[in-house]
């Protein structure tokens, strides 16, 4: 089924005239949501490229056959138009100009339909936010009361289970966030459904606290591409924000909303390489951010309106690579409370996820509590068990280190740290590898070392060294490390300085 979803999202489906989709707007514009085995799939049906698709629909009772080159390949249902579309507010605004059904049970709206970047001629190429206003399909500013009224009706009449609040960027950027918080609070109070808010990282990241206080469950902070050359062409304002500010925003958001409740769109088909998508997905997943990879969806009114989505043969290996990253980092669409990654209709990614959880995963410590647990394991090993330090093994390198943790069934059982020799150096130093005694028979130690090698290489490291206790030298030799100094005392115990072979990062090192 996953390949079928990938193909119809890229190629589209030719449909009879009576099946219509949205004409423009954000998200899954110029398309329609189908259900395949009850999985919502948003599919292009009206763009020019769809006329070349081998896929079409044939009516049956009930539902449709999905045909490929005239032969049935699956049963599908078309998500019917929701009943709440028939209602209007007291002052005569149709509910569907306030919010729309997305996928099968998600209510979505662009709260503020104006964007400072459109006004300044710096709009993102894939965005059509203000184009929907010109077409009078929506209103410029939705009020908290309107959103609460529509959300309640959509929940009661059509079984909506969660809601997305997105917005154009305010003037100044970030000024839209308190208003989004007000809207989210109204929806939560009157409809009681989980809400995802989507924002650009504001200059003042503390504004995100207001969303948490309003009861928002999930946050989308979308970078769209990790290829900075591409990003500066298609979304110059996002490129100008810079990846390090995005990283700070994602980290703070994970602290506030939790692992798996923060996501970022990554759009495939902007001209980037597959490796940049995999690199970015791993970067996000390591932080606890869900990389929501979607094929480019050319939206009428956007600069990309005449483009075509990437070919399915491009998307399949992308999804496979990202699904593996999700598994390795312990993320899954299943625990996302609200938003696009929960809806999933614009991407085939969730159908590639193997819901069998990895028993052993490694990632950066994602919050202070995980860091404290890592320090506790180190103290147990280096102070109590080995007596290398009297009270604590923590030192001046810890504040600047990246602390990696290994988890088994969600519990931290091991750790290692890496740090740069100095701020301008490409020499990184590893150390404090510690695994709880009862888990030393697992691959936690070797996975932590491999993860550390991968991490420093991503940071531009060319020389990665560590002082290895004499008894652990064979273990590091097996992982491709080489001695670079003779064995000598270090903290009163024999150690050998060794160097990693970072060329092995891309290979599967067996140990």
**Min CB(345)–ligand SF4 separation in Å:** 4
**Min CB(220)–ligand SF4 separation in Å:** 9
Residues that bind ligand SF4 (CB under 6 A): 27-28, 42, 102-103, 106, 108, 164, 340, 343, 345-346
Question: Considering all CA atoms of the chain, what is the largest pairwise distance in Å, rounded to the nearest integer?
Answer: 83
**Min CB(336)–ligand SF4 separation in Å:** 11
Residue 26 or 377 with smaller CB distance to ligand SF4? 26
Residue 350 or 496 with smaller CB distance to ligand SF4? 350
Q: How many residues does the chain have?
A: 511
Residue 31 or 330 with smaller CB distance to ligand SF4? 31
Residue 340 or 434 with smaller CB distance to ligand SF4? 340
Please say whether the beta carbons of 52 and 153 come within 8 A.
no
Chain mean position to CA 411: 23
Residue 164 or 208 with smaller CB distance to ligand SF4? 164
| Helix ranges (DSSP H) in 207-348 | 208-213, 228-234, 236-241, 243-257, 274-287, 312-328, 340-343
Residues 6 or more apart from 244 whose CB is under 8 A from it? Answer: none
CA distance 335 to 218: 11
Residues 6 or more apart from 424 whose CB is under 8 A from it? Answer: none
**Min CB(294)–ligand SF4 separation in Å:** 7
SS3 letters across 439-471: HCCCCHHHHHHHHHHHHHHHCCCCEEEEEEEHH
**Min CB(55)–ligand SF4 separation in Å:** 19
Coil, helix or strand for 74? strand
Residue 347 or 446 with smaller CB distance to ligand SF4? 347
Q: How many CB atoms lie within 10 A of CB 427?
A: 14
Tell me how far CA of residue 41 lies from CA of 4, 9, 105, 279, in angstroms.
10, 8, 12, 26
Q: Tell how strand 289-295 and strand 262-268 pair up.
A: parallel
**Closest alpha carbon to 272 in 303, 241, 232, 299:** 232
**Min CB(196)–ligand SF4 separation in Å:** 8
Tell me how far CA of residue 33 lies from CA of 87, 305, 330, in angstroms.
21, 20, 29
Residue 252 or 297 with smaller CB distance to ligand SF4? 297
Residue 295 or 431 with smaller CB distance to ligand SF4? 295
Residue 22 or 455 with smaller CB distance to ligand SF4? 22
**Min CB(344)–ligand SF4 separation in Å:** 6
């Amino acid at each position: 089924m996953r390949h079928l979803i990938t193909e119809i999202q890229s190629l589209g489906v030719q449909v009879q005239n009576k099946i219509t989709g949205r004409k423009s707007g954000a998200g899954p514009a110029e398309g329609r949501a189908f259900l395949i085995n009850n999985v919502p799939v948003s599919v292009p049906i009206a763009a020019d490229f769809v006329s070349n698709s081998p896929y079409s629909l044939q009516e049956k009772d009930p539902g449709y056959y999905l045909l490929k080159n005239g032969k049935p390949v699956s049963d599908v249902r078309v998500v019917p138009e929701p009943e709440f579309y028939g209602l209007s507010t007291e002052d005569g605004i149709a509910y569907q100009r306030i919010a729309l059904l997305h996928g099968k049970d998600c209510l979505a709206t662009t709260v503020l339909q104006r964007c400072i970047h459109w006004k300044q001629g710096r709009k993102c190429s894939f965005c059509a936010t203000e184009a929907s206003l010109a077409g009078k399909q929506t209103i410029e500013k939705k009020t908290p009361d309107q959103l609460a009224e529509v959300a309640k009706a959509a929940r009661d009449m059509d079984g909506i289970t969660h809601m997305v609040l997105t917005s154009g960027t305010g003037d100044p950027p970030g000024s839209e966030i308190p208003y989004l918080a007000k809207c989210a609070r109204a929806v939560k109070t009157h409809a009681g459904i989980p809400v995802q808010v989507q924002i650009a990282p504001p200059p003042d990241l503390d504004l995100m606290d207001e969303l948490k206080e309003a009861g928002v469950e999930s946050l989308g902070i979308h970078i769209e591409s990790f290829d900075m050359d591409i990003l500066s062409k298609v979304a110059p304002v996002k490129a100008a924000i810079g990846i390090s500010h995005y990283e700070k925003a994602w980290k703070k958001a994970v602290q506030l909303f939790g692992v798996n409740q923060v996501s970022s769109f990554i759009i495939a088909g902007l001209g980037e390489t597959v490796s940049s998508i995999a690199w970015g997905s791993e970067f996000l997943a390591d932080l606890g951010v869900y990389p929501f990879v979607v094929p480019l969806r050319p939206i009428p009114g956007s600069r990309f309106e005449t483009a075509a989505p990437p070919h399915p043969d491009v998307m399949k290996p992308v999804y496979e690579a990202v699904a593996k990253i999700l598994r390795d980092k312990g993320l899954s669409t299943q625990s996302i409370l609200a938003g696009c990654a929960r809806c999933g209709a614009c991407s085939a990614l969730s159908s590639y996820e193997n819901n069998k959880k990895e028993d052993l995963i490694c990632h950066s410590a994602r919050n202070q509590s995980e860091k404290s647990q890592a320090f506790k394991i180190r103290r147990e090993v280096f102070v109590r068990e080995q007596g290398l330090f009297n009270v604590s093994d923590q030192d001046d390198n810890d504040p600047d280190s990246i602390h990696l943790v290994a988890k088994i069934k969600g519990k931290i059982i091991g750790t290692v740290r890496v740090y740069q020799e100095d701020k301008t150096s490409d020499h990184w130093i590893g150390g404090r590898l510690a695994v709880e005694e009862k888990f030393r028979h697992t691959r936690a130690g070797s996975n932590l070392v491999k993860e550390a090698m991968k991490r420093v290489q991503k940071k531009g490291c060319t020389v990665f060294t560590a002082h290895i206790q004499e008894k652990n030298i064979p273990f590091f030799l097996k992982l491709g490390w080489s001695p670079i100094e003779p064995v000598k005392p270090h903290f009163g115990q024999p150690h050998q300085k060794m160097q990693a072979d970072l060329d092995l990062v891309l290979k599967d090192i067996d140990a």
